[in-house]
Amino acid sequence: MKSTPDTIAVDTTCPYCGVGCGVKARPAMVEGDSSHPANSGRLCVKGAALHETLVPAGRLLAPRVKGREVDWTGAAGAVAGAIRDAVDRYGPGSVGFYLSGQLLTEDYYIANKLAKGFIGTPHVDTNSRLCMSSAVAAHKRAFGEDCVPGCYEDLELADLLVLTGSNAAWAHPVLYQRMKAAARAGRKVVVIDPRKTATTELADLHLALKPGTDTILFNGLLAWLADQDRLDRDYLDNHCRGFEEALASARRAGPSVAMVARQCDLAPADVECFFRWFAETPRTVTAFSQGINQSVAGTDKGNSIINCHLATGRVGLPGAGPFSLTGQPNAMGGREVGGLANTLACHLDYDSPGARELVAGFWGTDRLPEQPGLKAVDLFDAVYRGEIRVLWIMGTNPAVSLPQSDRIGEALARCPTVIVSDCVADTDTTAFADILLPAAGWGEKDGTVTNSERRISRQRKFLPLPGDVRPDWWIMSEVAGALGHGPAFRYETPLDIFREHAALSGIAGRCFNIAPMASLGPEQYDQLTPIQWPVVARADGRVQGTRRLFSDGRFATPDGKARLVAVETVAPVQSPTDDYPLIVNTGRVRDQWHTMTRTALTPKLLAHRTEPFIELHPEEAGRRGVEAGDLGILSGPDGGEYMGRIRVTPEMRSGEVFIPIHWNRRFTPMGLASSLIRPVTDPVSGQPESKHGTARLRRLKTRWHARLMRRSEVPGWSDLPGQYRVRQPLANSQLWSLAGGGEVRWATEVEDLLGGPPQLLMADPAEGRFRAARLCEGRLEGVLMVDSDGANLPDSAWLDTVFALAELDEPVRRSLLAGRALDSDDAGALVCSCFQVGENQICQAIAEGVGDVETLGRKLRCGTNCGSCLPELKALLAEVQQSRPVAEV
Ligand code: SF4
């Protein structure tokens, strides 16, 4: 197979978040696709760096069974043998599948068909359970089907945009840029989030509510709308059911503005302002995301939002409606095929009348399970208990992302056969694999994905398959063949699968219907332009998408009416106690994605936040005896621990900490956010309460801080000194940040740490300072910097450039132990990833008189590409300007 020439760009879709941006991709360069309706040419910093992640390092290139490389016949035979053996001895329910929102729809369809239709197990769930399953459940309860009524354009058309539980500026950056660009006189934005985030920069009103009180706020809004006679009675009468019950429960939760404000810990005037704006603005969109979904009451929270939109007749209209922002690139595609354990296929549920018979007849099988399967947390519990004997994990890293990550590791260790399909060889999860299957990655695979606004786009192949790598659908079809189900899995191309999926949607009788695409030819599929489902056939034979759903007030319920759902206030299960007084909020950072298996491949994306951290309010920091730059250890009630650098910021509420979800055991042995989260879930959706853990905080007492840099990796965590150990891949070297409280004999350790004796050495035991460098054939091989005060350690940026030099001249050699060119300035912590502009450079420019982001952009270029750093630039401007003497300002 030949690679696409470097000069021809292929239109494809970004593999990260649910915005689903169109990308024009070449092996060595990517650009935003100006013709794609989701992004019109924009890309965020992650999307713009995609080509930098197309590297061979770390790829899984051949199937492995029990650590030995085998060919595909051997691998498919081993997988089929393990499945057959488990089914024969323990029944089909002893086999589980754990899928991913990174899979393409065609892969997802085959996984669902193989597992449910031919192995006969219902236990097929996906990491989308952790992301938006509460929104799915809320949609189904309210609309009768899992449908997002609106489209991205509505976020721009809205005169009032309510963003709740969403840091869109970092989690959905391009969509955030669209919202921002839609600013106009009279348009208002309300951000509802316990934290002040980059997204609140857009807010006319920020409601920093107490975590877990969202239902109270939206129930209060419903009661207030009723009291103020601001409901759409005609709409309620003609298109909805359940209003009186919903209102009665809303009144119990929030009978007055004052009571709502008190329970949510907000100013009454702010609550009333939000209520008034909502009442007065017909074009209102409420966009919600993980801050709503990741809760024990996530489904109720979603319904409390939808209730307010139904009660005002604002669903599926231009600029009006509830809008679930999906985290993953193809979470919605997975939902379409039935990738969640409680669904069957094509938006059909197990209890939909006639659904099992319809799907069984279509697939030609008599093995369909009768009941829904286990949702993610329960699935891994069943693995732990030994009830699941074979677990096949595809394209995801549950050993990092699921709650109580240590117990997930134990469950995987106990499971007799763990099969992992992945494109990366070493992850926290592949470490447990008995069978490893090399799957195609972005750029190598071909198929479709569906973004948050129901838009199906093509992900196209522009790279050859390396080694023995194969697409997921091909791998599963081989296994199906080895199991004796070959005739039902005879697919030549992804198009064969897509057509079958589309045909099934045509007989399922749901809103999700792409039947007219069942007859697409190879050329039409190849040239498919982004299209929103449901899809209808036009008179000219072409297909047409649907921008909005339910605009006519007819819903996907048996009687065509939407349901308002009576929702009671449910307090978070993981509530603070005297022993664990802090609420732990978890979330994303701007430049990373999930567990960093792809984004950490480009050093520039790790430069924005280089290590795991703990953010907290200055008052809380004082109370806990920690300061900015200290190292903190959070301990959870189940024994899990998380260590990170303390960041002190007034943007947090007191009593709460924020930690990022990305770091894992490949980068640090103690930085997994999920280790603090208990496996408690929403009873309807099964989504874990990942936004509301609890912990206590203590400072790590340190005697020394160190930076170790090596051209190559050192053996393992246990070979490194200290309690705090974090690895950061740089462009030319690897950096380990280390710290500890015990004594280390650096003069003895240095040779092991540097991989050989150093040629340059400086030791000052009285000051706790030690510095050494190892050179080999004139090149720098390793550097060790130790200091009793971490602030004295030099930045790694200059040293990393020295690793790239073939020969070191005398000035460079003399500068090595200082850690910086003796005549250069330190750029400081990275702020703009696109143009690699550091905090010190920006502060210097501001100190010299630059007074706005536009001028900063002209001077340093920062913020002029993807725009993700603009909120940080504004914050730095405000900070530096505030700190100037009054006369200067
Ligand atoms: Fe990719 Fe999302 Fe960024 Fe778009 S906004 S480029 S889909 S990560």
Interval 534-544: pLDDT, tens: 999 998 888 99
Instruction: Report the alpha-carbon distance of residue 202 to residue 200 in Å, rounded.
Output: 5
For residue 20, the CA-to-ligand 1 centroid distance in Å is 6
Instruction: Report the alpha-carbon distance of residue 828 to residue 834 in Å, rounded.
Output: 15
pLDDT attached to residue 19:
97
Mutation pick for ligand 1 pocket among 13, 33, 36, 39 (CB with most ligand atoms within 8 Å)? 39
3-class SS of residue 422: strand
Structure tokens at 297: 């009451």
Q: Comparing C-alpha atoms, which of 363, 332, 360, 348 is closest to residue 110?
A: 363
Residue 775 phi, psi dihedral angles, 5° rounding: -115, 150
| CB of 427 closer than 8 Å to CB of 597 | yes
Point out the ligand 1 atom lying closest to the alpha carbon of residue 32.
Answer: 6
Instruction: Report the alpha-carbon distance of residue 358 to residue 353 in Å, rounded.
Output: 9
pLDDT attached to residue 2:
40
For residue 44, the CA-to-ligand 1 centroid distance in Å is 6
pLDDT attached to residue 825:
66
What would the mean pLDDT of 672-685 be, rounded to a whole number? 95
Q: Comparing C-alpha atoms, which of 202, 205, 335, 185 is closest to residue 277?
A: 205
3-class SS of residue 6: coil
Point out the ligand 1 atom lying closest to the alpha carbon of residue 20.
Answer: 7
What would the mean pLDDT of 386-390 be, rounded to a whole number? 98
Higher per-residue pLDDT: 710 or 842 = 710
- Whether the predicted pLDDT of 494 surpasses 90: yes
Per the DSSP assignment, residues forming a β-bridge with 721 are none
What would the mean pLDDT of 863-875 be, rounded to a whole number? 81
- Mean pLDDT, all residues of the chain: 93
Give me the sign of the Cα torsion angle 225, 227, 228, 229: positive
Per DSSP (E only), the strands in 512-587 are 531-532, 536-537, 543-544, 562-563, 582-587
Name 879's Cβ contacts closer than 8 Å, sequence gap at least 6.
none
What would the mean pLDDT of 357-374 be, rounded to a whole number? 97
- Whether the predicted pLDDT of 836 surpasses 80: no
Q: Beta strands 22-26 and 29-32: pairing type?
A: antiparallel
What would the mean pLDDT of 191-200 be, rounded to a whole number? 96
Name 878's Cβ contacts closer than 8 Å, sequence gap at least 6.
none
For residue 14, the CA-to-ligand 1 centroid distance in Å is 6
Structure tokens at 888: 């200067």
In the block, residue with structure tokens 């980068």: 667
Question: Phi-psi bin for 245: left (phi > 0), alpha (psi -120 to 50), beta?
Answer: alpha
Q: Per residue in 46-74, pLDDT tens?
A: 999 999 999 898 999 999 999 999 999 99
- Measured in whole angstroms, the distance separating CA 810 from the mean position of its chain's CA atoms is 47
pLDDT attached to residue 698:
97
pLDDT attached to residue 603:
84
- Whether the predicted pLDDT of 887 surpasses 50: no
Per the DSSP assignment, residues forming a β-bridge with 760 are 773
Q: What's the count of helices (H) and strands (E) in the chain, helices before strands?
A: 30, 38
What would the mean pLDDT of 121-135 be, rounded to a whole number? 95
Instruction: Report the alpha-carbon distance of residue 205 to residue 190 in Å, rounded.
Output: 5
* Rg of the chain on CA atoms, in Å: 27
- Answer whether the bond into residue 660 is a cis peptide, omega within 30°: no
For residue 590, the CA-to-ligand 1 centroid distance in Å is 11
What would the mean pLDDT of 849-869 be, rounded to a whole number? 85
For residue 871, the CA-to-ligand 1 centroid distance in Å is 18
Q: Going by CA atoms, what residue is nearest to atom 3 of ligand 1?
A: 44
Point out the ligand 1 atom lying closest to the alpha carbon of residue 47.
Answer: 6
Q: Going by CA atoms, what residue is nearest to atom 2 of ligand 1?
A: 17
What would the mean pLDDT of 139-146 be, rounded to a whole number? 98
Point out the ligand 1 atom lying closest to the alpha carbon of residue 451.
Answer: 7
Taking CB atoms and a 6 Å cutoff, what residues make up the pocket around ligand 1? Answer: 14, 16-17, 19-21, 39, 43-44, 46-47, 172-174
Q: Beta strands 704-710 and 724-729: pairing type?
A: unpaired
Mutation pick for ligand 1 pocket among 13, 14, 588 (CB with most ligand atoms within 8 Å)? 14
Q: Per residue in 261-320, pLDDT tens?
A: 999 999 999 999 999 999 999 999 999 999 999 999 999 999 999 999 999 999 999 999
Name 93's Cβ contacts closer than 8 Å, sequence gap at least 6.
121, 122, 123, 369, 373, 387
Q: Comparing C-alpha atoms, which of 126, 107, 131, 567 is closest to residue 342?
A: 126
pLDDT attached to residue 153:
98
CA distance to 170, 648, 661, 664, 755, per residue, from 594 (Å): 13, 24, 7, 10, 32
For residue 39, the CA-to-ligand 1 centroid distance in Å is 9
